[in-house]
């Protein structure tokens, strides 16, 4: 009876451990992109097309801010 119980416990543990390693994948690598512009940051009343279209294009390529992409924006505000 004890040997049978040990066999059932071992079989159950092997069954439970089986699918988990295949599900355990490393987190996706976060790509970092730096954007430097000579102008000032856009405002809601004066949006800059690049600040809207760049993230949209990256999403179309499968990169999502906060999930697998980090974008750092810097603005020189006309100070060359």
3-state SS class at 24: coil
3-state SS class at 9: helix
**Residue 29 in domain:** yes
**Residue 80 in domain:** no
Any idea how long the chain is?
Answer: 80
Q: Which tokens go with 1? A: 């009876």
Confidence tier at 7 by pLDDT (50, 70, 90):
very low
| Residue-number span of the structural domain to which 36 is assigned | 2-75
**pLDDT tens column, 17-37:** 555 555 677 877 899 999 888
CA distance 13 to 4: 14
Q: Which tokens go with 45? A: 């009343």
Examine the pLDDT at 60 and tell me if it is beyond 90: yes
Examine the pLDDT at 79 and tell me if it is beyond 50: yes
Q: Which tokens go with 37? A: 């512009």
């Amino acid at each position: 009876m004890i040997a049978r119980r040990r066999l059932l416990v071992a079989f159950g543990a092997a069954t439970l451990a089986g699918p988990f390693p295949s599900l355990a994948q490393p987190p996706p690598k976060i790509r970092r992109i730096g954007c430097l512009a000579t102008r000032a940051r856009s405002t809601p009343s004066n949006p800059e097309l690049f600040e809207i279209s760049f993230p949209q294009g990256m999403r179309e390529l499968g990169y999502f801010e906060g999930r697998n992409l980090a974008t750092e924006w810097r603005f020189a505000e006309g100070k060359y």
